[in-house]
Amino acid sequence: MSPSQADCKSRNQPESVEETVRAYDRELHGFLRRRLRRRESTEDVAQEIYLRLLRFADPELIREPRAYLYRVARNVLHDWLRLEDREHQIADVHEPVLEDQSSQVDDARELEYILSKLPELYRAVLVLRKAEGLSYEEIAARLNISVHTVKKYMHCALVECRVISLGRRAI
pLDDT bucket at 13, cuts 50 / 70 / 90: low
pLDDT given at position 52? 83
Does 106 lie in the same domain as 57?
no
- The answer, yes or no, to whether residue 107 has pLDDT greater than 70, is yes
The CATH number given to whatever domain includes residue 49 is: 1.10.1740
Q: 163 lies in a domain?
A: yes
Residue pair 154/136 in contact (Cβ under 8 Å)? The answer is yes
Number of domains the chain is built from: 2
**160 is in which domain, residue-wise?**
96-170
In the listed set 38, 68, 86, which residue is the last one of a domain according to the structure?
Answer: 86
Question: What values do phi and psi take at 134, rounded to 5?
Answer: -75, 150
117 lies in the same domain as 137: yes
Q: How far is CA 163 from the centre of its chain?
A: 13
Quick one: DSSP state of residue 36?
-
pLDDT > 70: what percent of the chain? 77
Handedness of CA 163, 67, 70, 55 (dihedral sign): positive
- At residue 22, the pLDDT reads 85
- Pick from 44, 40, 71, 36: which is nearest to 57 by CA? 71
Distances from the Cα of 153 to the Cαs of 15, 59, 101, 112, in angstroms? 30, 27, 32, 19
Q: How far apart are CA 122 and CA 133, in angstroms?
A: 15
Question: What pLDDT, on a 0 to 100 scale, did the predictor assign at position 5?
Answer: 45
CA distance 100 to 64: 47
CB 93 within 8 A of CB 107: yes
Looking at per-residue confidence, does 159 or 100 come out higher?
Answer: 159
CB distance 15 to 8 below 8 Å: yes
Residue 39 above 80 pLDDT?
no
d(CA 75, CA 56): 13
Span 95-105, mean pLDDT?
58
- Is residue 91 one of the residues assigned to a domain? no
| Residue 82 sits in the same domain as residue 16 | yes
Average pLDDT score over the chain: 78
pLDDT for res 146? 93
State whether 19 and 72 are in the same domain: yes
Radius of gyration of the chain (CA): 19
pLDDT of 171 > 70? The answer is no
Output the pLDDT for position 7: 46
